[in-house]
Structures are given as C-alpha cells and as structure tokens.
Structure 1
Amino acid sequence: MRLTFTTPILGISAALAVLLTAVASSCTYSTGEVPSPCPTATEAVSYAKDISPIFDANCRSCHGASVYQTLGGGNDYSDFQGIKKQSASLILGSVQHAPGFDPMPKGGAKIAVCDIAKIKAWIEAGQPDN
C-alpha cells in the first residue's frame, strides 16, 4: 500500500494561493487606487472638517504656532492662513513623497492615501476656507 500526500498538499496550496490573491487584490495601496471613503472629484472637501484634522494629526507637531520656527523650517501651518501662504505644489509633493520634495512628515511614514486624496481635492478646489 502506497500513501500519496500530493492531493491534500496541492489542495492546501491552491486554497492558500486563492486567499493570498484575494487579499492582495483588495489592497488599494498596492495598486495606487484611493480607498472608497475618500473624496471623489465631485465631492467637496472642507478645510475645517477634513484638512485641519489631517494637519493636526500629521503636521502641526513640527509646523504648529509655537514650534514652527525651530522644528518646521519656518513654515507655520497652525491655521488656514499659514497653510494658504505655502505653495500648494510643495505641500502636495511633500505629502505624496514625490521626487524632488522633502518627504513629510519628516522622518515618518507617508500619510494615508485617503488623506492625501483629501488634500489634493481641497487644493484642486482652490483651497477654500470652509
């Protein structure tokens, strides 16, 4: 009598391959797609509701009113006016970690794809103070 383990191993391998494919295809970061709760081109992005909280969480520890001179390279993003003074392309290039820009947050991971999409949509809308 001869025992063969090929079928169960292949069955497990096939199931694992299907599972890994499903997980990988659902990962929007690997394809560059924006996750669904992010704004679309037709949705308005609010400075107060969307943008300011992103800057609170990711930028103002270095670019806040009391620290921007020493930690933030002189760039004050503590309020709407401070952000509006800065070049929109500099802000977007930095948070996207685009070539030729200093990646921000400095020394940190890239901010969430959805947050970058919100910043981009807000900039494209003319950076309204809403």
Structure 2
Amino acid sequence: MHKFLRLFPTRALAGAAVSLLAFVSACTYSKGPEPSPCNDPTPATYAAVISPIFDANCRACHGATVYQTLGGGNDYSTYEGIKRQSSRLIIGCISHEAGYNPMPKGGAKISECDIAQIKAWIAAGQPNN
C-alpha cells in the first residue's frame, strides 16, 4: 500500500500533464489565409474598394484635371493610372514611411484600414473587378 501511495502522486501528475498537453494542442492556431483587412470578407477590388479610397483621399490633387499642377504629375484618376505607379511608392507615401512624401499632402495619414485594404489589393495582383 505504501508503494501505491508513493506512485499515486506521480501518476496523477503524469495524467494532469497529458491532459494539459491535449488541451494546449487543441487550442493551437493553424495559420490559413490572411483575414481580409478591416474584417471585410470580400476581396478588395479597384472598383469596389480602392477607387472610393482614392476618391476620398487622393484625387483632389491626383485627379485627371489637377494632377499636373497639384499632384506632381501623378494621375490617379483611373485604374490604369494607379497601376502604372510604383506600388512601393504608393504604400510608402500613404504609410508616411521615412524617405517618402507623406500623403495626403498636408493632411492626416489615411486610416490603417484603408492602408491595409490597399496593401491587400496590391498583394492580390491589383484586381479591377
């Protein structure tokens, strides 16, 4: 009986350890596809997501009629105009990264959600529709 009592705590501890490991392994996160930015389940497309962001934040200076004078020659009035520009330049400017002109010029940085949507759109190959 004395041996049994000495083994019982060890067995109980081993059982608790096995239970804990089973619990922890059940709680692990299997990394799948990245979630859509801003909890939006639909993929970002130019027509549905990106163009409205550029309307709200960029086209006052980078629109078709003003880009030569206000937008440094960068025309973002169309899908083709945005695709022609370096993605790295766009991300650097809207993220206010060092070495890039912070955009919108003289304004606050656009929302992190909008930046995440633009990054996701670029990473997805810049789909139009």
| Structure 2 unaligned blocks of 5 or more | 1-35
Moved segments of 4+, more than 3 Å: none
Cα contact 1:39–1:117 (8 A) shared by 2: no
Are residues 1:49 and 2:68 paired?
no
Label 1:39 to 1:100 Cα distance change in 2 as closer, same or farther (>3 A). farther
CA contact (8 A) 1:51 1:119 kept: yes
Q: Give the Å deviation of 1:43.
A: 5.0
Tell me how far apart the structure 1 counterparts of residues 45 and 116 of structure 2 sit (CA, whole Å): 13
TM-score, normalized by length of structure 1? 0.68
1:63-78 paired onto structure 2 within 5 Å: 63-78=62-77
Aligned residue for 1:107, secondary structure, equals coil
RMSD: 1.8
- Whole-angstrom distance in 1 between the partners of 2:112 and 2:42: 16
8 A contact 2:94–2:103 mirrored in 1: yes
Is 1:93 the counterpart of 2:92? The answer is: yes
Give the letter for the 1:57 counterpart.
A
Maintained 8 Å contact 1:39/1:121:
no
Distance 2:68 2:37 in 1: 35
Structure 2 counterpart of 1:114 = 113
State, as a whole percentage, how many aligned pairs show the same letter: 68
What are the within-5 Å matches in structure 2 for residues 78-89 of structure 1?
78-89=77-88
How many correspondences in the alignment? 94
Gaps of 5+ in 1: 1-35
Cα contact 2:37–2:116 (8 A) shared by 1 = no
Given the superposition, is the C-alpha separation of residues 113 and 50 from structure 1 closer, same or farther in structure 2, using an over 3 Å criterion?
same
Given that 1:39 and 1:45 are in contact with CA atoms closer than 8 Å, whether structure 2 keeps it comes out as no
TM-score normalized with structure 2 length: 0.69
- 2:90 aligned partner, one-letter code: I
